[in-house]
Amino acid sequence: MRAPVVAYLELACLSYAEDDDEAPRRAAAAAQLLAEHPVIARTDPHVAAAASDVDSLARQLADDPEAVNRAGGPHDWPPLLYLCYARHDRSLDEAAVLATARLLLESGADPDARFHWQGLDPPFTALTGAFGGGERGQPPHPHAIALARVLLDAGADPNDGQTLYNRQFTPDDSHLELLFAYGLGRGEAGAALLRDQLRWAITHGMTDRARLLAAHGVDVETPFPSGPTPAALALTSGYPEMVAALGVPAPTLTPPDALTAAALTADRATWDALRAEHPDEIESLRAQRPGLTVWAASHGRPGAVGILLDAGWPVDAMGRTDVPRDDPWQTALHAAAQAGDVALARDLLARGADPTIRDAQFGGTPGDWARFFQHPEVAALLTPTDPDGP
């Protein structure tokens, strides 16, 4: 029965290589496969764990106690990981899921079971699977918080770098609230993880998260390794309201940083005053932050984009949409396409933006980005000059 076992486990568990729109098809296929081959849950502990079939799993572990931590299935995981990464049935009974988890843990399963996705660090753990998330927005387990609590009660390490990374992209803080209750942030390593979380929250305008981190004692005053203090980083990322969330005084900025802050908040009066006071700083800032227009566009700041373009920033300058750095990855037009911002895309085109430029990460035009992020109106606007077609 190896073939149905492998196929079921591949379908039942999170795939970090496929898009969300594949999830319903995979779930339906997994359910059909299990219905056609019910014996696989009764004879394979990995399948029983993924299906939360606690009775079948109990019988198998009674006959073969070593199976509790035996790697197997298509991913070479122990049963606990298949349970935590299962996403085949959103209606799974919570009691069955938690009973399955407790059975495995009480039988000796490692609550910190892990694997290295594509060989990378930090490892993906059982907690990572329960909480879900990631760059593709993978869903959490249907009973994520309850399942994670069972793992933490059994000794899972709350200072889980991959869990924190995967969940940082959305504003939901339920994972942090639970992890704090179990000791998140303790020790030097834990403190470093939370400083990384603070930096992401600041640069992405997550004021509630920044406030939560500050309330739990995360250092909000020491400069980050690259130089700026958290408050200065907030201002130069375009989020002045973050300073109050951090509970620190507003910092005094250097002229280039003050210009950046004024531009990103579309504060033209302050921008004009600073330009008059420091006329040589614009050229210097443009050289230091050539991709500032990309950051402004990616954070929904069309007024900021306009100020920068009027001041001489090239309309096709490349930067990054994910962090405020100037690696030459995408253009402002890519950012507008990702956001579905028709007005900004139209303005950029009117200013001479080139819709045929390909980004450095994926080799896509702005039109490709509009189609990928399902923004047909922007895609239609770009189609006449899009080399990849409609």
Return the percentage of the chain with pLDDT > 90, whole number: 89
Give exposure, 82-92, as e/b (b: 16+ Cβ within 10 Å): bbbbbbbbeeb
Which helix (H) or strand (E) element contains residue 137? none
Q: What does the DSSP assignment read for 236-281?
A: HTT-THHHHHHT-PPPPPPHHHHHHHHHHTT-HHHHHHHHHH-TTH
Report the DSSP beta bridge partners of residue 114.
125
Q: Are 367 and 388 a contacting pair, CB within 8 Å?
A: yes
pLDDT, tens digit, 9 for 90 and up, residues 217-275: 999 999 999 789 999 999 999 999 999 999 999 999 999 999 999 999 999 999 999 99
Task: For the chain, report the end-to-end CA distance as a whole number of angstroms.
Answer: 45
Please, what's the largest Cα pairwise distance for the chain?
A: 81
What's the CA gap between 111 and 152, in Å, rounded? 8
Alpha carbons 176 and 324: distance in angstroms, whole number: 24
Residue 158 · residue 128 · CB < 8 Å: no
User: Whose structure tokens read 């579905």?
Assistant: 340
Q: How far apart are CA 141 and CA 94, in angstroms?
A: 10
Instruction: Verify cis geometry, omega within 30 degrees of 0, for the bond prior to 122.
Output: yes
Place of tokens 């420091």: 278
Burial class (CB in 10 A: 0-12, 13-18, 19+), 75: middle
Helix/strand/coil (H/E/C) assignment for every residue in 169-214:
CCCCCHHHHHHHHCCCCCHHHHHHHHHHHHHHHHHCCCHHHHHHHH
What is the predicted pLDDT for the residue at 199? 97
Q: What is the pLDDT of residues 103-117, one digit of tens each?
A: 999 999 999 999 999
**Domain boundaries in the chain?**
2-129, 255-385
Tell me the one-letter amino acid at 205: G
Task: Report the C-alpha gap between 340 and 370 in whole angstroms.
Answer: 7
Taking CA atoms, 68 is separated from 7, 42, 79, 117, in Å, by: 21, 15, 7, 22
Side-chain-side CA neighbours of residue 191 (13 Å) = 9
pTM, two decimals, is: 0.93
Q: Which two tokens stand for residue 167?
A: 């969940």
Give the CATH architecture of domain 255-385. Alpha Horseshoe (1.25)
Give pLDDT, residue 235. Answer: 98
Q: With a cut of 50, which residues of the chain have pLDDT below it?
A: none
Count of CB atoms within 10 A of residue 359's CB?
18
* Angle in degrees, CA 361, 209, 262, rounded to 5: 70
Pair 230, 209: CB distance under 8 Å: no
Residue 31's H or E segment, with its range, is helix 23-36
Tell me what pLDDT residue 18 has: 62
- Tokens (6 digits) for 107: 């039988």
What is the spatial distance between Cα 304 and Cα 264, in angstroms, rounded to a whole number?
5
Joined tokens for residue 364: 């896509």
- The pLDDT of residue 356: 95
Question: Which residue in 145, 144, 6, 148 sits closest to 77, CA to CA?
Answer: 6
